[in-house]
Amino acid sequence: MRLWVVVPAFDEADRIGATLGALATQTDTDFTLLVVDNGSADATVAVVREFASRAPFPVEVLSEPEKGVGCAVDTGFRYAIASGARFIARTDADCLPRPGWVAAARAALDGGAEMVCGRITARRDEHGPAGRAFFAGLVGLAALFGRLRPAHRSGDFLAPYRMHAGNNMAITAGLYEACGGMPRRPSPTDRLFLNRVRRTTASIARSRDMVVENSTRRIRAYGVVGTARWYLDKGSGVLSPDPR
């Protein structure tokens, strides 16, 4: 299969089942799913293997012992490419891709885009309307900050800055290798990766039909100020960059 979906996971036994279920209900299931386990100490792998026995698409599990979401993503993408993938999409193990997510990603890449970014919204099962509105505001503020940041506007970029979420993107195998791939480091990695892509190609599309419901647990773990700092690329301070 020429399209693979890569999902990095670390201690997500309680949440990854919902993610797998969301992938199983895609309108386009012509893909291989690769879950990259980043050293989980819980039952994450067991949940994935049980799902694989009844999944409507092939499922593979790969172990990446080097810690960091960037390491897990890079290992997964390169494994998929070595296995014949032409297109690779990514979401995370605490996210819920809406049913048309894969189809929208494939349509954009088939249409000539080398990379496509989708739209993120807050999961409805984690916060009420106020929490979801706060999340939307943070995403908008971070997107504006990214466009205005001088470091994102230098002359070596081939495309304008538009914020993308690593848990809602798809890319061609050729571009992934040409840009150098995902930085092998802990989160955050999204801006670094996007800027690698922007230095390599101008063929970056955005699809409003490619929607992922994003976990808002960082709001609960960090609070308002801490979450704002995170989305503005100011780090997590004394808090863990991987809240649970």
- Cα separation of 231 and 222, whole Å? 11
What per-residue string of b and e applies to 181-204 under the rule 16 or more CB within 10 Å gives b?
Answer: bbbbeebbbbbebbbbbbebbebb
DSSP code at position 93: T
Parallel, antiparallel, or unpaired for β 59-63 and 32-37? parallel
pLDDT in tens for each of the 244 residues of the chain?
A: 699 999 999 999 999 999 999 999 999 999 999 999 999 999 999 999 999 999 999 999 999 999 999 999 999 999 999 999 999 999 999 999 999 999 999 999 999 999 999 999 988 888 788 777 877 777 777 767 667 777 777 778 998 888 788 899 999 999 999 999 999 987 678 888 999 999 999 999 999 999 999 887 666 666 656 666 655 555 555 455 554 4
Residues in the chain: 244
Structure tokens, 114: 């080398």
- Cα separation of 216 and 94, whole Å? 9
| Domain architecture of the chain: domains with CATH | 3-231 (3.90.550.10)
Give residue for tokens 């230095």: 199
